[in-house]
């Protein structure tokens, strides 16, 4: 799948995709086993996984009647595309506007921003 074609996921799809990214390869039953609290019906999770497959996020390998699913879009690819869309849709394509917003809303303070910059410079 081309990175340009990555669809936006619904909240439910994104939640299930997080489990698949975390586990790498898994069955619907294994996803349900990882879920906290009251477990949803197998059919509900199976439907979401099939939607993820139609959207091109996962594929499967069949072992008889058991399907093992695995991601074909990485979490990094999805994060990058989602963040780019957020920046374009809400911050006129400006990363500076996004960072300014986060500082203004006190989501990031100046010291934390300096640590982030030092760390990113150190990693380059």
Q: Tell the residue number behind the tokens 């975390």, with chain if given.
A: 22
Q: What does the angle CA 9 – CA 12 – CA 17 come to, to the nearest 5 degrees?
A: 65
Domains of the chain: 7-71 (1.10.10.10), 75-123 (no CATH)
Is 118 strand, coil or helix? helix
Query: Is the Cα torsion angle 78, 19, 23, 69 positive or negative in sign?
Result: negative
- Alpha-carbon span 64 to 51, nearest angstrom: 21
- The whole-number pLDDT of residue 5 equals 52
Q: How confident is the model at residue 119 (pLDDT cuts 50, 70, 90)?
A: confident
What's 92's DSSP letter? Answer: T
Q: How confident is the model at residue 109 (pLDDT cuts 50, 70, 90)?
A: confident
């Amino acid at each position: 799948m081309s990175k340009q074609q990555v669809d936006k996921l619904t909240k439910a799809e994104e939640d299930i995709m997080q489990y698949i990214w975390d586990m790498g390869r898994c069955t619907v039953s294994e996803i349900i086993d990882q879920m906290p609290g009251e477990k949803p019906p197998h059919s509900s999770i199976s439907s979401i996984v099939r939607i993820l497959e139609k959207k091109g996020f996962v594929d499967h390998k069949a072992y008889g009647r058991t399907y093992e699913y695995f991601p074909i879009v990485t979490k990094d690819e999805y994060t990058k595309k989602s963040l780019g869309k957020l920046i374009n849709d809400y911050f006129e394509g400006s990363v500076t506007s996004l960072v300014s917003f986060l500082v203004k809303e006190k989501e990031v303070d100046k010291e934390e921003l300096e640590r982030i910059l030092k760390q990113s410079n150190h990693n380059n």
